[in-house]
Amino acid sequence: MRTASITPTSVERTFGAEEIIVSKTDPQGRITYANDVFVRVSGFELDELLGQPHSVIRHPDMPRAVFQRLWDTIREGDEIFAYVKNLATDGSYYWVLAHVTPSQRDGRTVGYHSNRRLPAPAAVREVEELYDVLLREERRHGTGNQAVAASGALLSSTLEQRGVSYDEFVWDVINRHGGVR
């Protein structure tokens, strides 16, 4: 797997506004399905993605607290919408508006399904402001767990100050900026 040697760049990748990136994972988050749009935009070959943790495309500019909230939400059996900055194999990045849902069979979670669309640029700018604050908080702490806890607490207090839940924050951004391009 070539992810260890990927150096992020400032080059943005994009994809068509009518395209949807789709992936499925097992309960541990290992990729079991990736559509052709995912393969093309990420730059990975399909066989490089299958069996890998979905975090293989995690960009270092993504606050860990956002992923913690995402995983906590879907593990509880709920869906979530989130803006996510991903890393492609050439170091470029691409933003998505992700909709992640648990896949259930006989009342138990057997994996997760994610559809991702191209977000509106104004929405990305607004989300980046929050993510930058969270990343600065994470970088102030020594360990991964401390960093996640600190930025998670900051995210919760920021949302509380705004008087909204995480879902309400995301939907407000979507509604004000048109959600997708």
Residue type, 19: E
State pLDDT tens for residues 3-46. Answer: 558 999 999 999 999 999 999 999 999 999 999 999 999 999 99
Q: Give the domain extent around 130.
A: 17-177
State pLDDT tens for residues 133-165. Answer: 999 999 999 778 999 999 999 999 999 999 999
pLDDT at 3: 54
- Is residue 127 situated within a structural domain? yes
Residue type, 147: A
CB-based burial label for 10 (10 Å; 0-12, 13-18, 19+): exposed
- Which residues, in sequence order, are bridge partners of residue 114? 23, 100
Query: The CATH number of the domain where 90 resides is what?
Result: 3.30.450.20
Q: How many domains does the chain have?
A: 1
Return mean pLDDT, the chain: 94
Q: Phi, psi at residue 117, to the nearest 5°?
A: -115, 165
Residue whose structure tokens are 């399904």: 113
State pLDDT tens for residues 96-128. Answer: 999 999 999 999 999 999 999 999 999 999 999
Contact 68, 83 (CB under 8 A): no
Rounded Cα distance between 141 and 151, Å, is 9
- Is residue 79 situated within a structural domain? yes
- Is residue 68 situated within a structural domain? yes
Q: What pLDDT band is residue 178 in, cutting at 50, 70 and 90?
A: confident
pLDDT at 179: 67
